[in-house]
């Protein structure tokens, strides 16, 4: 039932695989671990929508909370009197936030959360009379959204190239993964410390007293699921602290249980100054994002010589009632069903199954995992980058499993409610896809 011409008129965002136009495939329903196609086929979702549906699709409690809220209060601006749910949610999320975090700035998406975090970092330094700290540092291969701030610090060059102008003063540090391949969970030595030390050399060369913030995804997601080598984030924390630079963890993917704890900061034992989140925050059911702020940042902003704690910033949909209702219900579900703990318990099976895919053939270049994230990187076919991974993803789809091909890498990030059989189904289907190449 697609209106005539709508396929032409709909500008698919970022779709290197244009097969959509010739053979549209849609998901029209979803429940738990599965999507359903118009012809009634059930498809196992191996990427949780887009790394967001952590508690499974259409969870009845979350959907009911949205339904109820929509009939009660559709909108109240957080610039005027607001509504109670935003306050309830703030209190609840603080209960699971890493120690020391006591504020949250709500936003409408991950991109908005990242832009907000970058602005908080700049405002923080200005409020302390250090307005000369304006440089922002990202990493190559990182993804931080599509806003101008997030895109500027993102390290996937082709996504910026089309636009020319970006934020000034942004640098991109080399990603450790480009220095050597590593399988974080396979007992690699603590070589992450060396990488971080190398980064300190780069920071020193650019004068660290001009740097406002370093932003990293604890596990780079859209860049290809690149877990940090052991010791890296801890050393990065030490280096940024030593130079008075704020450390931002972009936890849009890792937040809300993906690594078996509420946030990667807790799972990996490293405390940043700001944490961005979105996606799993509202289980993907309504758009929502946020920035968790460490009390030291907030305190400093309220006490600095040029106090700016009343941030001149906010979105129409910051703390939207439907988003808050969904996020509160989502937190209830995570806690009542022990979903983060389940994710932690099943991560070993996930790891074993993902690495077992290697047996499928020689085209596999690398397999990576951490928590319930995974990546299978495939040797590109000569002169046809991305083609093999896409062929495997298409093969999986035909066999009832939805995985995402990003360049030459298959990205895996299933709902955290996945069971052992479903893990096996994903791994088998990828193996078959690889053998069929």
Residues of this chain that bind ligand PMP (CB under 6 A): 109-111, 114, 143-146, 150, 217, 221-222, 250, 252-253, 278
Least distance between ligand PMP and beta carbon 360 (Å): 27
Dihedral sign from CA coordinates of 254, 259, 262, 266: negative
**CB nearer to ligand PMP: pick between 84 and 157:** 157
Task: Tell me the three state secondary structure of residue 254.
Answer: coil
Give whole-number Cα distances, 423 to 131, 260, 372, 409, 418, in Å. Answer: 50, 16, 10, 18, 7
How many CA atoms does the CB half-sphere of 235 hold within 13 Å? 16
Least distance between ligand PMP and beta carbon 108 (Å): 8
Name residue, tokens 């924390």. 237
Residues 320, 75 contacting (CB under 8 angstroms): yes
Burial of 22 (0-12, 13-18, 19+ CB in 10 A): exposed
**How far is 309 from 319, CA to CA, in rounded Å?**
18
Residues 373, 54 contacting (CB under 8 angstroms): no
For the chain, what is the largest distance between any 2 Cα atoms, rounded to a whole number of angstroms?
A: 65
How many CA atoms does the CB half-sphere of 401 hold within 13 Å? 26
Task: Tell me the three state secondary structure of residue 180.
Answer: coil
Least distance between ligand PMP and beta carbon 130 (Å): 26
Host H or E run for residue 9: helix 6-9
**CB nearer to ligand PMP: pick between 260 and 290:** 290
**CB nearer to ligand PMP: pick between 304 and 414:** 414
Nearest partner of 130 among 239, 244, 242, judged by Cα: 244
**CB nearer to ligand PMP: pick between 23 and 158:** 158
Least distance between ligand PMP and beta carbon 9 (Å): 23
Nearest 5°: phi and psi at 234?
Answer: -65, -45
**CB nearer to ligand PMP: pick between 144 and 177:** 144
**CB nearer to ligand PMP: pick between 143 and 195:** 143
Least distance between ligand PMP and beta carbon 52 (Å): 8
**How far is 95 from 93, CA to CA, in rounded Å?**
5
**CB nearer to ligand PMP: pick between 250 and 273:** 250
Least distance between ligand PMP and beta carbon 47 (Å): 11
**CB nearer to ligand PMP: pick between 109 and 369:** 109
42-45 and 401-402 strand pairing: parallel
Least distance between ligand PMP and beta carbon 110 (Å): 2
DSSP-assigned beta bridge partners for residue 279: none
**CB nearer to ligand PMP: pick between 248 and 333:** 248
Least distance between ligand PMP and beta carbon 132 (Å): 27
Least distance between ligand PMP and beta carbon 60 (Å): 24
Report which residue's Cβ sits closest to ligand PMP: 110
**How far is 240 from 139, CA to CA, in rounded Å?**
14
């Amino acid at each position: 039932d697609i209106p005539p011409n709508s396929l032409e008129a709909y500008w698919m965002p970022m779709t290197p695989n244009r097969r959509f136009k010739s053979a549209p495939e849609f998901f029209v329903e979803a429940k738990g671990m599965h999507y359903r196609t118009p012809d009634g086929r059930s498809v196992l979702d191996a990427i949780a929508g887009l790394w967001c549906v952590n508690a499974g699709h259409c969870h009845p409690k979350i959907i009911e909370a949205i339904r109820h809220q929509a009939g009660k209060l559709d909108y109240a601006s957080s610039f005027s009197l607001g509504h109670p749910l935003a306050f309830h949610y703030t209190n609840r999320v603080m209960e699971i936030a890493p120690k020391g975090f006591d504020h949250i700035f709500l936003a409408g998406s991950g991109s908005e959360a990242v832009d907000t975090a970058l602005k908080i970092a700049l405002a923080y330094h200005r409020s302390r009379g250090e307005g000369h700290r304006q440089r922002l540092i990202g990493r190559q291969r990182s993804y931080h959204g599509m806003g101008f701030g997030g895109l500027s610090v993102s390290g996937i060059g082709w996504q910026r190239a089309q636009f020319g102008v970006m934020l000034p003063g942004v640098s991109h540090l080399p990603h450790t993964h480009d220095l050597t391949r590593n399988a974080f969970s396979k007992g690699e030595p603590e070589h992450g410390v060396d990488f971080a030390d190398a980064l300190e050399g780069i920071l020193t060369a650019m004068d660290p007293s001009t740097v406002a913030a370093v932003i990293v995804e604890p596990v780079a997601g859209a860049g290809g699921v690149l877990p940090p080598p052991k010791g890296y984030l801890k050393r990065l924390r030490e280096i940024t602290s030593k130079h008075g630079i704020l450390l931002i963890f972009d936890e849009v993917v890792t937040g809300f249980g993906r690594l078996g704890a509420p946030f990667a900061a807790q799972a990996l034992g490293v405390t940043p100054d700001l944490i961005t989140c979105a996606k799993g925050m509202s289980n993907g059911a309504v758009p929502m994002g946020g920035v968790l702020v460490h009390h030291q940042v907030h305190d400093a902003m309220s006490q600095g010589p040029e106090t700016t704690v009343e941030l001149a910033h906010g979105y129409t949909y910051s703390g939207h009632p439907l988003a808050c209702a969904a996020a509160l219900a989502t937190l209830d579900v995570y806690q009542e069903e022990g979903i983060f703990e389940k994710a932690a318990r099943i991560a070993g099976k996930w790891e074993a199954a993902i690495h077992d895919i290697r047996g499928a053939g020689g085209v596999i270049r690398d397999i990576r995992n951490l928590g319930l994230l995974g990546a299978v990187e495939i040797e590109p076919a000569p002169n046809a980058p991305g083609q093999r991974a896409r062929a495997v993803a298409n093969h999986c789809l035909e066999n009832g499993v939805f995985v995402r091909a990003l360049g030459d890498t298959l990205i895996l990030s299933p709902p955290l409610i996945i069971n052992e059989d479903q893990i096996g189904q994903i791994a088998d289907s990828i193996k078959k896809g690889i053998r069929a190449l």
